[in-house]
Amino acid sequence: MSQAVKRIADSKFTLSALMGPQDANSHGNVHGGIIMKMADEAGALVAMRHANAPVVTVAVDSMTFLEPIYVGSLVLCHAELTYVGRTSMEVCVKVVAENPLTGASRNTNQAYLVYVAIDPEGNPTPVPELVYETPEEELGAAEAQERQNYRKHQKSKSSLTHERPTIQSE
Ligand SMILES: CC(C)(COP(=O)(O)OP(=O)(O)OC[C@H]1O[C@@H](n2cnc3c(N)ncnc32)[C@H](O)[C@@H]1OP(=O)(O)O)[C@@H](O)C(=O)NCCC(=O)NCCS
């Protein structure tokens, strides 16, 4: 059953996968799109665990690839909430590439993604409040709020409009 107030720890999650030849680009390193998809899946799972509802991605902040990831690496996407609004949730995803033979690991990416919980009609629906347990979490939430204000500002300046998706009934 969904709780009214939850902690960041209640939904944090790590998605991991061993990179194989099917994940390679034409240079033989892992394709950036594979990492972006994993990061989005990890973030969405955190948001779903918090909301106990389906979610859609509404924003992905710039994702910089600091270092290549090689086939044979274990990729770990560590994802946790930073902030929740009424219906939206910001998740920080940190990507780590580990050499399973040596245990050596490298931080390769970090990104912030925003999800919105939706009801069966595809409309935004309220999510549980988030309680911050440490000064670091409080600071992270304040920074996330600033990023969210900036995204809203950018959205208000955009000339793009959208239609809400139609939810298909089975
Ligand atoms: C999610 C969706 C239904 C929201 O519709 P909307 O008309 O923007 O709804 P609202 O204006 O009420 O915004 C809902 C929440 O989303 C947030 N939001 C909307 N667009 C945002 C953006 N670009 N960046 C950050 N937050 C955003 C709002 O701030 C609001 O948050 P809050 O309730 O916590 O204050 C609509 O944007 C949509 O369907 N988007 C497509 C999602 C999708 O298909 N994603 C898959 C990838 S293509």
pLDDT for 161: 59
> Looking at residue 63, what is its pLDDT?
87
Is-contact 59 114, C-beta < 8 A? yes
Helical H segments across 31-134, by residue range: 32-51
- For residue 1, what pLDDT is reported? 56
**Residue to substitute in 58, 87, 91 for testing ligand 1 pocket (most ligand atoms within 8 angstroms of CB):** 58
Tell how far the Cα of 58 is from the centroid of ligand 1, in angstroms. Answer: 5
| 57 Cα: distance to centroid of ligand 1 (angstroms) | 8
Contact status, residue 83 vs residue 140, Cβ threshold 8 Å: yes
* Backbone CA torsion sign across 116, 120, 122, 123: negative
Q: Is there an atom of ligand 1 within 6 Å of 87 CB?
A: yes
Shortest-distance Cα residue to atom 6 of ligand 1: 124
152 pocket-lining for ligand 1 (C-beta < 6 Å): yes
Phi, psi (deg, nearest 5) at residue 53 = -155, 160
- What's the first-to-final CA gap in the chain, in angstroms? 24
Domains plus CATH for the chain?
A: 5-157 (3.10.129.10)
Instruction: Check residue 59 and give its pLDDT.
Output: 96
pLDDT tens per residue across all 170 residues of the chain: 567 899 999 999 999 999 999 999 998 899 999 999 999 999 999 999 999 999 999 999 988 888 999 999 999 999 999 999 999 999 999 999 999 999 999 999 999 999 999 999 999 999 999 999 999 999 999 999 999 999 999 988 876 655 665 665 55
Q: What pLDDT, on the 0 to 100 scale, is given for residue 169?
A: 55
The model's pTM is 0.92
The residue whose CA has the least distance to atom 16 of ligand 1 is 88
